[in-house]
Amino acid sequence: MKAFLARRFLAAIVSIIGVTLVVTLFLRAIPGDAVDVMLGEQAGEVDREALREAIGLHLPPHMQVWTFIRDIATGELRTSLPPFRARVLPLIGEKLPKTMLLAVVAMLLAIAMAIPLGVLSARKQGTATDHGAMIFSLVGVSVPQAWLGPVLILVFAIHLGWLPALGGEGARAIVLPAITLSLGMMAMLSRMTRSSVLDVNREDFVTTARAKGLAERTVIWRHVVRNALVPVITIAGLQFGALLAGAIVTEKIFNWPGMGTLLIESIQRRDYNTVRACVLVFTVLYVLVNLVTDIAYGIVDPRIRVRGGKR
């Protein structure tokens, strides 16, 4: 077990460092120069080089990564924009709870809607209800957030006036962003729930439960659904990282004051340190979710630890 945990932690660390390096390389490839954004294109070469050295852009990529990791570990990482170079970690600490709240609400909404829809679709297999649910799932997976968000704003905020259009305080402000963010996962989980329920429904223990004379409602919810939800909930947990990534677009559409908005604004300003810090936070959260899932699998099923050792 110790070797299994060590492999997983090592893989997580390598993933985080690798993502940081890749992001650094991509930032260097973005058209435009951060120095031009800060000083203007008419600035002298001496001033440009001095600023480039002050914010570490003169260093090679691997040294930039090392400096970034050192500064963020010591809490000294600052924004790349002089003269007021604020600390990045307090800035992220202010924005991250907003993004986590949006992602958690979207996750709960997706699960709450997908499971009953998937179960209903499985019970009504081959009927108009089943076909309608699957069409909804197909549409939900296909519709991009960049289109759905403005449509929801147009209908529910502008025409009907039921909900606020852009970011604000209170429970009503999170409704439209959460629906926009959750629709894709809701559609995917409903299809998975349907498939899983149909598979479990053919198992021998379900046939035995029916043979005992149990009510169909009891068979479905106590025996079929409880066993069918294990892979569904697992995939939902793994997809939490995808929700965080999707929050970047959703937050920008609804002006939600979270990490996604901060990331996009930092990219536009060429604030490299903040961009790398935001990407690092998203990466760490995604890796942690997968790490916890791997560890849980290893604890529950020892065969996974053995297969991991053979690899």
Domain CATH for 189: 1.10.3720.10
85 within domain boundaries: no
Same domain, 161 and 64: no
Same domain, 59 and 101: no
How far from each other are the two terminal CA atoms of the chain, in whole angstroms? 15
Residue 215 φ/ψ, nearest 5 degrees: -65, 145
Rounded to an integer, the average pLDDT of 169-193 is 87
Rounded to an integer, the average pLDDT of 288-302 is 66
Of 65, 107, 7, the C-alpha closest to 279 is: 65
**Cα 272 from Cα 252, distance rounded (Å):** 19
Phi and psi based region of residue 170 (left: phi greater than 0; alpha: psi -120 to 50; beta: remaining): left
Within 13 Å of residue 38, how many CA atoms lie on the same side as its CB? 23
CA distances from 215 to 120, 136, 172, 204, 229 (A): 17, 30, 40, 17, 20
Same domain, 221 and 279: no
**Whole-model pTM?**
0.78
- DSSP annotation of 171: G
Could you tell me where the DSSP H helices lie in the chain? 2-29, 34-39, 45-54, 61-74, 88-123, 128-142, 145-152, 175-201, 204-211, 216-218, 225-238, 240-254, 259-269, 272-300, 302-310
Residues contacting residue 208 through CB under 8 Å, at least 6 positions apart: none
Of 239, 99, 241, 117, the C-alpha closest to 178 is: 99
Rounded to an integer, the average pLDDT of 244-270 is 85
Residue 303 has pLDDT above 60, yes or no: no
Same domain, 138 and 176: yes
Residue 1 has pLDDT above 80, yes or no: no
Of 166, 168, 167, the C-alpha closest to 158 is: 166
The token pair that represents 52 in the structure block:
């480039």
Same domain, 235 and 159: yes
Q: Which domain holds residue 209?
A: 95-260
pLDDT per residue as tens digits for the range 25-34? 776 666 666 6
**Cα 260 from Cα 36, distance rounded (Å):** 24
297 within domain boundaries: no
146 within domain boundaries: yes
Rounded to an integer, the average pLDDT of 146-152 is 88
87 within domain boundaries: no
89 within domain boundaries: no
Same domain, 276 and 243: no
Same domain, 174 and 46: no
Q: Which of 36-40, 43-47, 126-130, 274-278 has the lowest mean pLDDT?
A: 36-40
Rounded to an integer, the average pLDDT of 128-139 is 87
Same domain, 13 and 146: no
Same domain, 128 and 253: yes
SS3 for 258?
A: coil
Q: What domain count does the chain have?
A: 2
Max CA pair span of the chain: 87
pLDDT at 32: 60
